[in-house]
A = this chain, B = another copy of it.
Amino acid sequence: MRLVVLGATGSIGRQTLEVAKALGIRVVGISVHTRVDAALKIAREFGIEVVAVTGLECVKPTALENVKLVTGERTVEQLVKLTAPDTVVVAVPGIAGLDAVLQAYPYVRRLCLANKESVVVGGRYLKRLLRDAGVEVLPVDSEHSAVLQLLEAARPVKVILTASGGALRDLSLEELENATVSQVLAHPNWQMGAKVTVDSATMVNKGLELFEAMWFFNLAPHQVDAAICRDSFVHAAVVFEDGVVKFHAGFPDMRVPIAYALTKPDRRWKGRVPELVGRSITFEPVPFDRYPAFALAKEILRERDTLKVGYCVADEVAVDAFLKGKIRFGEIYRMIEKVVESVEAADLDSWEEIEEALEATQRISKDVMRRWK
């Protein structure tokens, strides 16, 4: 890529040069207003071919060195004509940015706009010119870049699912051990079936969801995790390698994801839009001592398929026993752990292998249950 930076000695200009250097992008030209010395220093450092000085009529020839200096009329146009860049960053401050854009745009493919005033003053006219010329214009402003990034498809390096913590999140560890069925079924945010509500209290549900996230989005174990968001306002976050995090939020209402699955890529459901102002969003870690079944799931993420089957089957057997009053809440986890420890590790490539693993883990689970007390 051949890059020209207009307004190279300002804050955005300097940071653009730093980014270009870090990414190995070739800077072929810069413009400055009057700071010729700073411009020549940059030109030497970056091996820049042409420097446009927009605010001076002429520059002493002794300052030239190996760099071509452009002054006089329409210096930005001269600069881009001489350097033929693919991309121009317009970091010229103020209304002067409009003139810089108008001189540069016919010669480039991508215009990165850090100047707001050009758009505010000349927006209607500029939009037509850029469209007719087929120039791609991208915002550099952090907020507008953020919006653009939120509109674009993207591949993250990490996915974080949120968890409410379930109905028992505020019980002491002792109370947790003996939590009753009715305590467990009073989920704070979601109305769901009994099995999944118990799974929510043990966070087996979140453990299963980590597997599910790996499966749906082709992620490795270290790329999935969970955090507690008590009001379930944030449902997930995705993290990118440049440090950007995107959150997905909204009232907890299953009709929204159901409608999205049915109508994607359209979004035909009309939902209540939450008010952001006055809102506070908090993330807490998942305490492993309260949710040992979640900690176990995180370990199993890295293990072979049969252990995941064991986790799943043992949980069904244990939750059923808990709902029938046969075991205590705290015993759900210990039963799952016991079963998982007894499973022979193997991957499952065919239906026969899956069926065999299901039968084996069901047998083990029943065995564990029979000998429990």
Contact = CB atoms under 8 A, between A and B. Distances in A.
Contacts of A205: 116
A270 to B, nearest CB: 6
Interface in A90-131: 93-95, 98, 102, 112, 114, 116-117, 119-125, 127
Contact of A351 (B125, B305, B349): B125
Contacts of A249: 244-247
Contacts of A116: 205, 208-209, 211-212
B283 A146 contact: no
Contacts of A281: 280-282
Interface string A239-265: 111111111111111111111111111
A138 B212 CA distance: 11
Contacts of A259: 19, 22-23, 242
B16 A258 contact: yes
A353 B98 CA distance: 14
A74 B196 CA distance: 26
A150 interface: yes
A160 interface: yes
B272 A243 contact: yes
Interface in A22-43: 22-23, 25
A167 interface: no
Interface residues of A, number: 138
A140 B261 contact: yes
B119 A147 contact: no
A193 interface: yes
A172 interface: no
Interface pairs A-B: 5 shortest CB-CB: A243-B271, A145-B257, A146-B248, A146-B235, A146-B236
18 contacts: A12-B254, A12-B258, A19-B262, A114-B258, A121-B354, A138-B261, A139-B212, A141-B257, A145-B260, A148-B217, A150-B154, A150-B236, A151-B156, A152-B153, A237-B276, A242-B260, A277-B285, A278-B285
Interface of A: 1, 3, 10-12, 15-16, 18-20, 22-23, 25, 87, 89, 93-95, 98, 102, 112, 114, 116-117, 119-125, 127, 137-156, 158-162, 191-193, 195-196, 205, 208-209, 211-213, 215-217, 227, 232, 235-265, 267-274, 276-285, 305, 308-309, 311-313, 316, 347-351, 353-354, 357-358
